[in-house]
Amino acid sequence: MVRLRRTGTGGGAGAGAAGRGDGVREHRPLRSVTAAVPVTGAAGPPPYGRTAREERTAALLDAVRLRLAESGAPPTAGSVAAVLRATRPPLGGDEVLDTVRSLRAELVGAGPLDRLLAAPDVTDVLVNGPDEVWVDRGGGLRRAVGVRFTDAEAVRRLAHRLATAAGRRLDDARPWVDARLPDGTRLHAVLPPVATGCTHISLRVCRPRPFTLDELVTGGTLPAAGAELLTGILRARLSLLISGGTGTGKTTLLAVLLGLVGPDERIVVVEDSAELQPAHPHVVRLQSRPPNQEGLGELTLRDLVRQALRMRPDRLVVGEVRGAEVSDLLAALNTGHEGGCGTVHANTAADVPVRLEALGALAGLDRPALHSQLRAALDLVVHMVREPASGRRRIAEIHMLAGDRAGLAVTTPAVAFTPDGAVVPGEGWERLLRLLAARGVAIGGGPP
């Protein structure tokens, strides 16, 4: 089994990214300490466009794999160097060191992606093909220059290796994987023929420590007044959902908010892939599990939410609400579990009730039942966006939950945050202040 770990240190907080930061981001490069080395046969004809150096590296890689497999030695730097010396390649001293690093990356690391994952400002790395690697450094996706795989099979091998490191299955019977690597990196991979032409790999780099609220303010994710408001909301134990599209920073903002929870409270977090790492002394984390090859052993988010309710949570957190577990979450928030949190994909804050209605249908909840539970359980929706031009992630608005004349749940804008940092109160602002004041929290001197 492959085990990946990070080494080294990274930089500081990112600018303007609640989710992942679009400035300098702290993380450490993907590395591995042990791996089962597969035996491969001789390399076939080199694919069209492969350089002489890539052909030589491919031949050396096959030779090193074979010798390590025969000896049973782990692929450490020393063992790889020893095998390389035994093959007697025509390399100079500096080139030997470079080749050893390259071979270890191919054997137990992330191959050509190691260099990108080692960069302190990289947040996402995407592979669409052998010579189609894209990277996000916080300002949107850009084509990675000088990064390529030897062929499509090399991309597939890397996907298999990373899936094994995450303890997940990836083969023709189950041609996709969504998992978290041991170092915290989020992995998603899809094999052909589901992915046309070549295996697709998506890697989302995880910070070794969460952002602080002050760092989000400095980065432009929200103004100082917004930070004061969110702090008050957490102190008042209001239940909220963070909405937004993919990559807008929902998970990172949630981790920041959970870090504001009092140290005497117990937080139970339920996730599909364990990503939330709040700076809090008492966090219990539960992670779902897919079925095994016989189709047994599956643990869904709904199963885990039910178990979490028996673990004496002060705050129940669902990393992402996207299925039938919404009914159990709403039931929990309606039975005295105040201050619950979660994230949900939605285009706008106003779309959240409709989105939850669709998810509730998966659990067999009819429309009136879902909306009545939603109005009683949820207090706020915090919506995040990503600026199309700059790629900056920020909090766009906060909505209150209310009911319309038909008894359905709707949202009312409480406050909006403009791209230039202005705070614009909405029709639900006074109601929010009164709700906070009723729980002993005053914002900006309290309600007028």
Q: Give 3-state DSSP helix, strand, coil % of the chain, rounded to 5.
A: 35, 20, 45
Average the pLDDT over 340-344 and give the result.
93
What beta strand segments (E) does 59-145 contain? 124-129, 132-136, 141-143
Higher pLDDT, 20 or 328: 328
pLDDT exceeds 80 at position 286: yes
Tell whether the model's pLDDT for residue 103 goes beyond 70: no
Residue that wins the pLDDT comparison between 432 and 272: 432
Average pLDDT, the chain: 80
Token look-up 């002489």 returns 52
| pLDDT exceeds 50 at position 74 | yes
Confidence of residue 69 (pLDDT cuts 50, 70, 90): low
pLDDT at 45 over 60: no
- pLDDT over 50 (residue 46): no
Q: Return the SS3 of 308.
A: helix
Quick one: pLDDT at residue 31? 38
Q: What is the mean pLDDT of residues 154-160?
A: 91
Specify the pLDDT at position 443.
82
Q: What's the pLDDT score for residue 239?
A: 95
Say how far apart CA 179 and CA 177 lie, in whole Å.
6
Going 241 to 125 to 210 to 309, the CA torsion angle's sign is: positive
**First-to-final CA distance of the chain:** 62
DSSP state of 22: S
Would you state the pLDDT for residue 39? Answer: 35
As a whole number, mean pLDDT of residues 37-48 equals 39
* Span 169-173, average pLDDT: 88
Which one-letter DSSP state was computed for residue 8?
Answer: S
